[in-house]
Amino acid sequence: MAGKIIHCGAAGAGQAAKVCNNMVLAVQQIAIAEAFVLAEKLGLSAQSLFDVITGATGNCWAVHTNCPVPGPVPTSPANNDFKPGFSTALMNKDLGLAMDAVAATGATAPLGSHAADIYAKFAADHADLDFSAVIHTLRARADA
């Protein structure tokens, strides 16, 4: 799993940190997918957008590891029929845990909540795909 161990506190704190981190990852992955769908509609190549994002303020781990379109990142699940590195089912589970924590604490997470809704719907039919395959949902909405 992780290459670095970070002590987060009492028992359960590590799990709490994990669901918070995966909520961030889900929101990032959706934003990345939205950008690539928009780029397609604008006539930009995936490689051009990848080069801009990774050289500018949109740069993040998710785009380097889980670029949702084939080509720019040879090891991305998009280049392997979205065979999971981290499945949609697992992302959906972690987002459910994050939303449970939001409800239990009274915190607010409007983007996390929206991501949880998107992944719950996507997981209903595509739980076995990598979570970066969520681009299929966004592309379908754009084409509707």
18 belongs to the catalytic site: yes
Q: Which of the residues 4, 18, 41, 121 is marked catalytic?
A: 18
* Overall pTM > 0.85: yes
CA distance 115 to 113: 5
Closest by CA to 105, choosing from 16, 5, 2, is: 16
Instruction: Average the pLDDT over 66-76 and give the result.
Output: 98
Residue 3 pLDDT > 90, yes or no?
Answer: no
User: Does residue 84 contact residue 77 with C-beta atoms inside 8 Å?
Assistant: yes
What token pair was written down for 45? Answer: 């190549």
The per-residue pLDDT for 67 is 98
**In the chain, where the domains are located:** 19-141
User: Does residue 80 contact residue 133 with C-beta atoms inside 8 Å?
Assistant: no
CATH architecture of 19-141: Orthogonal Bundle (1.10)
Average pLDDT score over the chain: 96
